[in-house]
Structure 1
């Protein structure tokens, strides 16, 4: 990865830059990756329904390879680097059409234009917020808990209207918080702008611009079977070249690339280097965090533990999280990010520690609230259809005058 985020494939044998990956090579990569001899190249694309995220842009174009297995698996191989960047199965594609695609309005022509997609989601969400608020207000005004209606019911409605009234009141608050928090996640009007570490500060922190990475490294550990290194990451920390090796069982070793010895990074090294990430700010805390908390947790993503948590006294009250094994910046947060944690992750994804730490409590709550929301939504669709569909008038018979 170069300084501009571009991706390049480099030979691990001699360090030379490799050319792109053609269709035949992508097919061979897919066979080796999957162990499926029947893998066949299908097409070369820029993007399709399953490769719309912008994070794949540096790897495009992509080769789509069909494995022809029972699961209907398809692999996407980067034409730039030759790496497998995505896999999908027939079942995943089916359920995504019913779930994530309509949920995020992830239709390819729309998602390919990020500003347009952003505006569509923001304005649709805003309209839904107004609809939910007015529905809750009307629902409260039309319910009777003490002086009930003649039939003994708390609602004056019957049939689908009654289902919509009751389900809307029971789940209306949660539906509203889901819509509103989803709307806020789109950062309307740029209310939740973050203060990320800039490239110059990161260069000062890593020290990678001081000299070239030593290649080949002092030692390249050998191994057999699952213990053999399968992935090597070239990293810099405070001017020191590091080599991170990962084997087939996801075990990680970090070596000093200059000496070949296991890397050792002390607290003082991290504190000294981290000061360059926030020049002008004073370090207020340096804590080795060994357990998840409200702001650093691994419910929907992998989070490294233990991790150094460094707090600064700048106006944004920045916190940096640094991996003690390799000194790499694992994450960051500021006031806006922590506020978004409450307004989106807690309200929208229900990522409360007392829920996510005791599965399946989180699953049960999400299922129950989703069922209530589905009843309110489905009944609303039925009622709306009945109101909007054209009504056929019964023919009138003209009576002859005597």
Structure 2
């Protein structure tokens, strides 16, 4: 390659990095600063434990319909994906989710289908929330910043109710089913404008169109990756470790340019891998397999597909806020949950407590993937590289069934309820290293000593912010002439 061509390519390399970097450094700075906020404040949601805490105890004496009657009333042709009994204010109801995602609510008192709720009913539901003091309806929302994703589509429109507590908690109640969709506090709402919303490029106007939002984020992060690569290349080309510049300097730059050059060399690889893993989080090209377990797999595990269960409803002395009706390897079972999130299995014929045996669970697990066999049966009593708690709690102990299918699938199973609570294959395990490890630094060493994780991520984020902010300052000076 001639020297003239090399000079031309280098010149365009510098020009491209300079002018594209003016915009992309704004995104880099935004991502590093907002990422630190996200370490401590998550996007608003509703955990299962929070949902159960907001439900009243089941009034068993008001339950007139059996689960079989409710399924018949709903016109179910196969056993639903999810069937549970809980209270809708002071009325017991069965909530059913079909395999196609269709949801139905049937009154357990008289069998009527519940398809819409009044304002008064929504306020009555809100009164049972632990934070509720003086609940008041603010408005009926179809979609807002906190309920923007498609997961809430079956519940819309939503009653937005202010609970009147010191934390300024707001509750979203479905006008269709009375289900509590999510709650938010003032702290979550304020900090997320500095955290998740800018980090994920999450304004409602864009995020409400899922495919468009995904495309926009893929392109922005992809262009930022290119800028990162060119920045590292330029940094290497301009640094001198032996034949140094004047005053024994390794960089030809001064001021903000020197900060940008040196910190870019130190943190450049981290910035690039962080950007790559963030881009990968959107699963471009659908390269990585999904998390969900298919209906066929779950049906084999249940061992039953007909809409019957013949369960004897219990009369419990302790408070139960929810009862789930499930099948496990051809045997019916009731899982009752209390307000503190504790779940307990009951025998359907006697209504008595029935602790699950591991032999029963392993027998059911063996049927999960077709044409495959369990090669390892593990009981995890401590977290490991692929089953760990970081931002969210995870159950322990847990069973891990390892299979010899082509995808090398692992299933994680709750020894308490028998629920399948996790599924990973070789594709998802690769994704765990390329996304979680590179983007969130979810390495077991750091997770075991949480302050170490905070310190490392803070230091790297500060370096990344220096690279980004210095780039913004340099770009602004170029634009000013």
| Same fold (TM > 0.5) | yes
Deviation at 1:16, TM superposition (A): 5.1
**Secondary structure, aligned partner of 2:377:** strand
Deviation at 1:34, TM superposition (A): 4.2
Q: Measure, in 2, the Cα distance between the counterparts of 1:213 and 1:247.
A: 22
Deviation at 1:236, TM superposition (A): 2.0
Q: Deviations over 1:268-290 (max 9, x none)?
A: 32233223321111221222222
Residue pair 2:375, 2:403 contacting (<8 A) in 1 also: yes
Q: Which structure's relative contact order is higher, taking Cα pairs within 8 Å and 6+ residues apart?
A: 2
- Alignment equivalent of 2:178, drawn from 79, 82, 86: 82
**Secondary structure, aligned partner of 1:235:** strand
Corresponding residue pairs, total: 385
Q: Measure, in 1, the Cα distance between the counterparts of 2:309 and 2:110.
A: 13
Q: Measure, in 2, the Cα distance between the counterparts of 1:148 and 1:13.
A: 84
- Alignment equivalent of 2:472, drawn from 381, 386, 391: 381
**Secondary structure, aligned partner of 1:276:** coil
CA RMSD, Structure 1 to Structure 2 (Å): 2.0
Greater alpha carbon shift after TM alignment, 311-320 vs 50-59: 50-59
Which residue of structure 2 lines up, in the alignment, with residue 36 of structure 1? Answer: 132
Which residue of structure 2 lines up, in the alignment, with residue 214 of structure 1? Answer: 310
**Secondary structure, aligned partner of 1:64:** strand
Unpaired runs of at least 5, structure 1 = 392-402
Which residue of structure 2 lines up, in the alignment, with residue 312 of structure 1? Answer: 403
Which residue of structure 2 lines up, in the alignment, with residue 110 of structure 1? Answer: 206
Q: Deviations over 1:317-340 (max 9, x none)?
A: 111111112222111110100000
Q: Measure, in 2, the Cα distance between the counterparts of 1:294 and 1:174.
A: 21
Is 1:275 matched with 2:366? yes
Residue pair 1:7, 1:59 contacting (<8 A) in 2 also: no
Greater alpha carbon shift after TM alignment, 378-387 vs 258-267: 258-267
Greater alpha carbon shift after TM alignment, 63-72 vs 277-286: 63-72
**Secondary structure, aligned partner of 1:63:** strand
* Residues 218/36 of structure 1: CA separation in 2 closer, same or farther (3 Å cut): closer
Which residue of structure 2 lines up, in the alignment, with residue 147 of structure 1? Answer: 243
Q: Deviations over 1:187-223 (max 9, x none)?
A: 11222134853212312321342351335x3423122
Is 1:21 matched with 2:117? yes
Residue pair 1:195, 1:334 contacting (<8 A) in 2 also: no
- Alignment equivalent of 1:58, drawn from 127, 140, 154: 154
Residue pair 2:267, 2:463 contacting (<8 A) in 1 also: yes
Deviation at 1:161, TM superposition (A): 1.0
- TM-score, scaled to structure 2: 0.75
Is 1:156 matched with 2:252? yes
* Residues 36/315 of structure 1: CA separation in 2 closer, same or farther (3 Å cut): closer
Q: Measure, in 2, the Cα distance between the counterparts of 1:362 and 1:233.
A: 38
Is 1:350 matched with 2:409? no
Is 1:289 matched with 2:385? no
Q: Measure, in 1, the Cα distance between the counterparts of 2:255 and 2:124.
A: 60
Residue pair 1:60, 1:78 contacting (<8 A) in 2 also: yes
* Residues 372/297 of structure 1: CA separation in 2 closer, same or farther (3 Å cut): same
Unpaired runs of at least 5, structure 2 = 1-96
Q: Measure, in 2, the Cα distance between the counterparts of 1:187 and 1:37.
A: 43
